[in-house]
A and B are shown apart, each in its own frame.
Chain A
Amino acid sequence: MRIVIWVVEGTWQGCVDAASRSLPSGAQVALLHVTPSDVAEVAGAATTGLLGRAFAGRRPARSFRDVADAAASELLADAAARLGRQDAELLRRRGRVEREVIRAVAENVDLLVVARDGDHSRLGPHSLGPATRFVVDHAPCAVLLVWPDQPPGIESIPPPPPPGHHLPPDRD
């Protein structure tokens, strides 16, 4: 069995912990991190956008890309250590996050572990961020959706609708 754990800043610890609790023994594990390419892109291009100031003397010492790559590598190494699986394969990708995740699990993957990234106070269709939503919808394998921290209690369910009321058709 081959399992991919998608780690993201802010939620990775809970995600790794939840995955380690449900890992079948003998499973092959890969840890995946995707750096959104637009962030370094926007930051770098803001410099080029300053008309007339493109001058070699003002380039930052380390490119945004290098900083992001180093941070991603460290995050993956820490995730492997937290998982206690130094044999885990580390997948570092860059691009449009949701598409890179799907690409990484497109073949020979049985399970993708994903952290919910929404806000506990607004449970509902939008409690998943756009990238996570896309991944859940399009992953060609089973998806294990885990809470990165404490799951909400049963009291988070809203009161039932009044009799005769039908749920609106899902427009997502």
Chain B
Amino acid sequence: MPGPIAETLAGVLLVATLASAVVRPWGLPEAVVAVPAAGLLLLLGILPLTQAGAEARSLAPTIGFLAAVLVLASLCDRFGLFEAAGSWMASGSRGRPVTLLALVFAIASTVTAVLSLDATVVLLTPVVFATVARLRLRAKPHVYACTHLANSASLLLPVSNLTNLLAFSASGLSFVRFGATMALPWLAAIAVEWLVLRRFFAVDLVGHAEPVAGTRSPVPVFACVVVVLTLLGFFVTSLLHIAPAFAALGGAVTLAVPALVSRRATVRDVGLALEVPFLAFVLALGLIVKAVSVHGLGSLVSHLVPGGTSLGALLLIAVIAAVLANLINNLPAVLLLLPAASVAGPGAVLAVLIGVNTGPNLTYVGSLATLLWRRVLRERGEELPLSEFVRLGALTVPLVLVASTVALWVSLRLMG
């Protein structure tokens, strides 16, 4: 097939895949479009089998790692970890909204870093929402903190975000080194979010919570121990040069067996927690982006990504990544940028992550496409006052980008 046609077709299929993932016609899983699209690219020879095989092999460990983390987080929920976190935040706040916000920050940052942003968005945010309602405080600062931190506090570990997992395998960094280098940028991002949100929502952080009736959820000691051991396992496996995915697998199995025995979860629940359609979507998206990259866009991107690890270069990379994440969502953005960034070195890869992870707070959970779709919804008569979200994003994202990238630059200097 002639180059330009192949290039166009790959591009069209990427757009179609992303559009259907945002719109989700008839509520179908995203993989329903992504997998056939990837298949078509293979069938037509636009993506040669050898390259597809190489890409699939490089994605396979990441997808396995992702599956284990998804199951681990879901089982933690079954054991009542998030409910217990809600109780703890409610009693620890002693009724003061600012103290509650600080605890929400601590929990959301930790959950995002250790159990991934999915856990914060899907499992923790509803608990925070219910806790705030029970305390009869204003929900806005706390809920916005969760959605913001799910993105900006996902810098710390490879497991914190799927983008990190993808970059982790491309960067050649060890788990320990990744975490050690990203610790400062992670703290910088959280600090900026705190300073901005605390001021932005000052009016909503008034009053005093009311005494809550009802029992406190017990702390699930076993699940907590397994999570801590899994975290240690990540570092130990990394030091022993074993794939840290095995630590995640170990944690997931250790929780799954007693959960199944005690009937907290059924085999079906564990199967659902695996999210096979999502894993298939990630693989298919990886292949489609690969096809787009080999047909020209890759070389365009590699011209865009500057080399070197000077502060200016890192900032430029982070900004490009943030813009791209807002245009096409952060998963495809990271897949497109990684090949060029990994040539430029681990510093560049981590700067890409700062951009794609923290940038999404700008245009409503990460994609211009989502935003446009929401506009369509609004025209159908659903009122969506989102200006506040966008204003908050416009305040935090540039500051977080700069603070985290400067912190990364310092980290890279310190780590040598």
Contact = CB atoms under 8 A, between A and B. Distances in A.
B340 interface: no
Contacts of A10: 97, 136-138, 206-208
A40 B143 CA distance: 8
A51 interface: yes
A118 B140 contact: no
A172 to B, nearest CB: 15
B415 interface: no
B395 to A, nearest CB: 15
Interface in A70-123: 70-71, 75, 95-96, 117-119
A29 B28 CA distance: 49
Interface in B136-158: 136-140, 143-144, 146-147, 150
Interface string A34-65: 00111111110111111111111110101010
Contacts of B133: 67-68, 70-71
Contacts of B24: 54
B331 A52 contact: yes
B213 to A, nearest CB: 11
A11 interface: yes
A11 B206 contact: yes
Contacts of B374: 45
A112 B240 CA distance: 69
Given A9-B138, A38-B388, A67 B207 contact: no
Contacts of A47: 121-122
A69 to B, nearest CB: 10
A23 B125 CA distance: 40
Interface in B188-228: 202-204, 206-208
A117 B275 contact: no
B130 A129 contact: no
B385 interface: yes
B367 A51 contact: yes
Contacts of B18: 51
Contact of B384 (A38, A43, A46, A55): A38
Contacts of B137: 9-10
Contacts of B207: 9-11, 148
Contact of A57 (B130, B150, B203, B275): B275
A53 B365 contact: no
A48 B146 CA distance: 15
Nearest to A52: B281
B366 interface: yes
B243 interface: no
A152 interface: no
A38 B382 CA distance: 12
B164 interface: no
Count chain B CB atoms within 10 A of each CB in A39, A52, A96, A148 and give the residue with the most: A52
B349 to A, nearest CB: 20
Nearest to B363: A49
Nearest to B392: A42
Contacts of B122: 47, 50, 53, 58, 60
B143 A71 contact: no
A118 B370 contact: no
A39 B140 contact: yes
A43 B275 contact: no
Contacts of B388: 38
A145 interface: no
B366 A49 contact: yes
Contacts of A53: 118, 122, 275, 278
A46 B273 contact: no
B331 A51 contact: yes
A70 B331 CA distance: 37
B21 A43 contact: no
B308 to A, nearest CB: 31
B110 interface: no
Contacts of A75: 136
Nearest to B284: A52
A43 B143 contact: yes
Interface in B1-45: 18, 21-22, 24, 27, 29-31, 34
Interface string B333-370: 00000000000000000000000000010001111001
A60 to B, nearest CB: 4
Nearest to A118: B203
B206 A117 contact: yes
Given A43-B143, A64-B129, A49 B383 contact: no
A125 interface: no
B275 A55 contact: yes
B70 to A, nearest CB: 9
Interface string B366-389: 110010001000000001111011
Nearest to A129: B203
A41 B143 CA distance: 10
Interface of A: 8-11, 36-43, 45-58, 60, 62, 64, 67-68, 70-71, 75, 95-96, 117-119, 129-130, 148
Given A51-B18, A55-B278, 15 more contacts: A8-B138, A36-B385, A37-B383, A38-B386, A38-B389, A39-B144, A43-B147, A45-B364, A49-B365, A49-B367, A51-B367, A52-B281, A55-B29, A117-B206, A118-B203
9 contacts: A11-B206, A39-B143, A41-B384, A52-B34, A54-B27, A54-B29, A68-B129, A95-B385, A96-B385
Closest 3 CB pairs of A and B: A10-B207, A49-B365, A129-B203
